[in-house]
């Protein structure tokens, strides 16, 4: 629920605004002075601040400066009387999101608040995308194929190539390679926007990518900003691009041609300067022959092609990755990392890893959860690994499956004991609430 902090000493106006905003579903708190308002922000954590230009303890412009310095992430809307309009305009130049002149209509206030909240949401999303671009930029591996891949990622990142196609089996780490390309490019300070084309409902893919105006379709209750817009000046990564429906392939092709696009329901064309990286585990050339993928789009994406090797092609990188993930999950679980005996390492090297790096990562995470700080022997590994088989629908029940069931039972028991309260359940298990939530999601219990 969005929240509004009103900093104004005019009691009747504050009472009227608070009533109207609460009716619209906002949480509201008020402060009668700038100092009181500044103290209320860290406690109330408002989504938006309404700040009067004239306050009993000084000019609203001075308090705006202090609020922006202490809480730059919170948009501030100035409130001014008729004679203060010039000061209000100056406040916008000083960092205020907008200003309203008394008396103002409720609809004008609500529209301004929605705009401020949308700007705040976009800013937060961009921050998350920039963090995602920095995280995991290193490609772990010392094999020859990984050395060549890392070198190619660096050269592509430093080049002006705007369209890159990443090919490889599922779970090989194509998204990680895309982040490495972005991190080594002139766009590294821009956002890295990742979208999985296979995970979005077909009816919403176009709106997710290119945006939509309010009322453009049945469920479009507010304006949607597309990921293409957010990627401006950065990188747009289209994972599983082979899953795009044919109709949207034509729209994407138009964008790739000149960088222009049109949000659904809009008559105005927009532009975005985004490098587009696309990835797929499908044979796109075969999909073109079968009429499931546009030939012109394929050649437009396939300007620079990079093949990401399967884990079975990477030799002893398997052990490097196993230790890498052991250290990573030990940090997350706040426990000592698991270690592997020479016999367990031989089993890891002998297995073909049909699920590639993703499968290895999942195995190490489960081992960490159930064997924190222990030395892992071959008997501790899933039977698919120790048997060197890829498993399948007819495979016998594996140790990995039994471990998942054991973990599920522990989580369900803790939740029952805590009467469904997740924070208490996490305390019972001796893990963080974040770790509990992640496990519940992985096991389909969320």
Domain with 259 in it: what CATH number? 3.40.50.300
129 inside domain = no
Q: What is the pLDDT of residue 96?
A: 87
Residue 225 and residue 247 in one domain: yes
Domain boundary among 283, 309, 335: 309
Residue 268 and residue 120 in one domain: no
Look up the CATH number of the domain holding residue 55.
Answer: 3.40.50.2300
Q: What is the pLDDT of residue 347?
A: 93
What does the alpha-carbon distance between residue 234 and residue 361 come to, in Å, rounded to a whole number?
28
130 inside domain = no
- Please enumerate in sequence order all residues whose Cβ is within 8 A of that of 81, keeping only pairs 6 or more positions apart, or say none: 53, 54, 101, 102
Residue 303 and residue 160 in one domain: yes
62 inside domain = yes
Cα–chain center distance at 286: 32
Q: What is the pLDDT of residue 299?
A: 93
What does the alpha-carbon distance between residue 42 and residue 28 come to, in Å, rounded to a whole number?
14
Domain boundary among 281, 309, 337: 309
Residue 182 and residue 230 in one domain: yes
Q: What is the pLDDT of residue 393?
A: 37
18 inside domain = yes
DSSP secondary structure of 286-305: HHHHTTSS-HHHHHHHTTEE
218 inside domain = yes
Q: What is the pLDDT of residue 391?
A: 40
Sign of CA dihedral 114, 117, 119, 121: negative
Domain that includes residue 26, residue range: 3-124
Structurally, how many domains does the chain consist of? 3
Residue 198 and residue 81 in one domain: no
400 inside domain = yes
Residue 181 and residue 289 in one domain: yes
Q: What is the pLDDT of residue 85?
A: 64
Q: Hey, which residues does 134 pair with through a beta bridge? A: none
Residue 64 and residue 173 in one domain: no
Q: Which residue has the tokens 């008997």?
A: 379
152 inside domain = yes
Residue 219 and residue 303 in one domain: yes
Q: What is the pLDDT of residue 419?
A: 79
Q: What is the pLDDT of residue 130?
A: 52
Residue 120 and residue 205 in one domain: no
Residue 217 and residue 79 in one domain: no
3-state secondary structure of 93: helix
What does the alpha-carbon distance between residue 358 and residue 189 come to, in Å, rounded to a whole number?
28
87 inside domain = yes
Q: What is the pLDDT of residue 403?
A: 63
Q: How far is CA 432 from CA 324, 362, 425, 440, in A?
A: 21, 19, 10, 12
What does the alpha-carbon distance between residue 382 and residue 402 come to, in Å, rounded to a whole number?
9
Residue 267 and residue 342 in one domain: no
Residue 111 and residue 241 in one domain: no
Domain boundary among 266, 282, 309: 309
DSSP 264: B
| Triad 58, 63, 67: Cα angle to 5° | 160
Q: What is the pLDDT of residue 302?
A: 92
Q: Specify whether the CB–CB gap between 60 and 52 falls below 8 A.
A: yes
Q: What is the CA radius of gyration of the chain?
A: 27
Segments of the chain with pLDDT less than 70 = 82-85, 88, 122-138, 218-221, 388-405, 434, 442, 444, 446
Q: What is the pLDDT of residue 295?
A: 94
Q: Specify whether the CB–CB gap between 260 and 254 falls below 8 A.
A: yes
């Amino acid at each position: 629920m969005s929240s509004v902090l009103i900093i104004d000493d005019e009691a009747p106006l504050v009472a009227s605004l608070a009533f109207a905003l609460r009716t619209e579903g906002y949480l509201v708190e008020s402060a009668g002075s700038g100092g009181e308002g500044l103290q209320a922000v860290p406690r109330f954590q408002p989504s938006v601040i309404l700040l009067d230009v004239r306050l009993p303890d000084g000019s609203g412009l001075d308090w705006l400066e202090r609020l922006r310095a202490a809480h730059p992430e919170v948009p501030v809307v100035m409130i001014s009387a008729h004679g203060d309009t010039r000061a209000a305009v100056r406040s916008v130049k000083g960092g205020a999101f907008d200003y309203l002149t008394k008396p103002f209509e409720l609809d004008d206030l609500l529209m301004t608040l929605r705009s401020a909240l949308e700007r705040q949401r976009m800013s937060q999303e961009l921050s998350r995308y920039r963090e995602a671009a920095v995280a995991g930029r290193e490609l772990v591996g010392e094999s020859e194929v990984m050395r060549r891949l890392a070198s190619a990622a660096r050269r592509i990142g430093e080049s002006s190539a705007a369209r890159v196609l990443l090919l490889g089996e599922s779970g090989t780490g194509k998204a990680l390679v895309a982040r490495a390309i972005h991190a080594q490019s002139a766009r590294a300070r821009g956002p890295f926007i990742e979208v999985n084309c296979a995970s979005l409902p077909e009816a919403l893919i176009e709106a997710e990518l290119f945006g939509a105006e309010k009322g453009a379709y049945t469920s479009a209750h507010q304006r949607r900003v597309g990921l293409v817009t957010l990627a401006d000046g950065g990188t747009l990564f289209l994972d599983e691009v082979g899953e795009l429906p044919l109709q949207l392939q034509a729209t994407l092709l138009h964008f790739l041609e000149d960088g222009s696009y049109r949000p659904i329901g809009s008559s105005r064309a927009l532009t975005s300067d985004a490098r587009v990286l696309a990835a797929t585990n499908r044979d796109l050339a075969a999909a073109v022959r079968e009429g499931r993928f546009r030939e012109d789009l394929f050649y437009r994406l396939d300007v620079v092609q990079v093949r990401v090797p399967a884990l079975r092609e990477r030799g002893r990188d398997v052990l490097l990755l196993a230790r890498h993930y052991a250290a990573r999950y030990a940090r997350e679980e706040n426990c000592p990392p698991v270690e592997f005996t020479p016999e367990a390492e031989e089993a890891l090297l002998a297995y073909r890893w049909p699920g590639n790096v993703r499968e290895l990562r999942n195995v190490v995470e489960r081992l960490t959860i159930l064997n924190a700080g222990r030395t892992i022997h071959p008997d501790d590994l899933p039977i698919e690994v120790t048997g060197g088989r890829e498993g399948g629908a007819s495979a016998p029940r594996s140790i990995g499956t039994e471990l998942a069931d054991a973990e599920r039972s522990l989580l369900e028991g803790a939740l029952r004991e805590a009467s469904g309260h997740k924070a208490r359940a996490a305390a019972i298990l001796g893990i963080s609430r974040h770790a509990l939530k992640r496990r519940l999601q992985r096991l389909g219990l969320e």
